[in-house]
Structures are given as C-alpha cells and as structure tokens.
Amino acid sequence: MSDVSPLEAEVAKLIVRTLTLKLDPAQIQPEEPLFGDGLGLDSIDALELSLAIFQSYGHQIRSDDPDIVATFASLRSLCQSIEKHRMK
C-alpha cells in the first residue's frame, strides 16, 4: 500500500502483535478509528499498547495530554504522536 508510511506499517505490526489481533497488519486502515467501532480496542489495550510504544520508541503516553483523544484516534494520528515524541 503506497499511502502507508514505513512507521505506520511498523506500528500496525506492533499493534497486531501486542494485542494478538487476528488481522493482517496491512488491513489496518491508517485513518480508521482504533477504539470503539473501528478495531474495537478497549482501555486494557490502550495500556498494553502504550507499554509497547514506550518500549519501542521511548514515548510515554498520558491521558492529560491535550492531544490524547487525537493520539489514539487512528493509526496515522498515533504515528504522528510517536514521531513527535520518540526518543529512539
């Protein structure tokens, strides 16, 4: 898929592996909602995913970040947040 950035492809794999989703990472649409109606992830997933992101990129997600809702909105926005805050 040409409209998926390398980081997006990498994080999609991380999501599928961390949350044991039965899904081809390429099936995650970059703009699709991750939580609720989209992939249907919940707060336990958010916590697991935040840990995996911390371990891979050194970025710590927090709820009182004004961008928190945007961060988890989609794969694309999550990657933008990682790009902005990553330490490794």
Which CB, 2 or 20, lies closer to other proteins? 20
- Least Å distance between CB 85 and other proteins? 12
Which residues on neighbouring strands pair with residue 70, listed in sequence order? none
Helix (H, G, I), strand (E, B) or coil at 31: coil
- Least Å distance between CB 45 and other proteins? 9
Report if residue 5 touches other proteins, rule: CB under 8 A.
no
CA–CA separation, 1 and 51 (whole Å): 27
State which of positions 26-65 bind other proteins (CB under 8 A): 40, 42-44, 46-48, 50-51, 54-55, 60-64
Is 86 exposed, middle or buried, given 0-12, 13-18 or 19+ CB atoms closer than 10 A?
middle
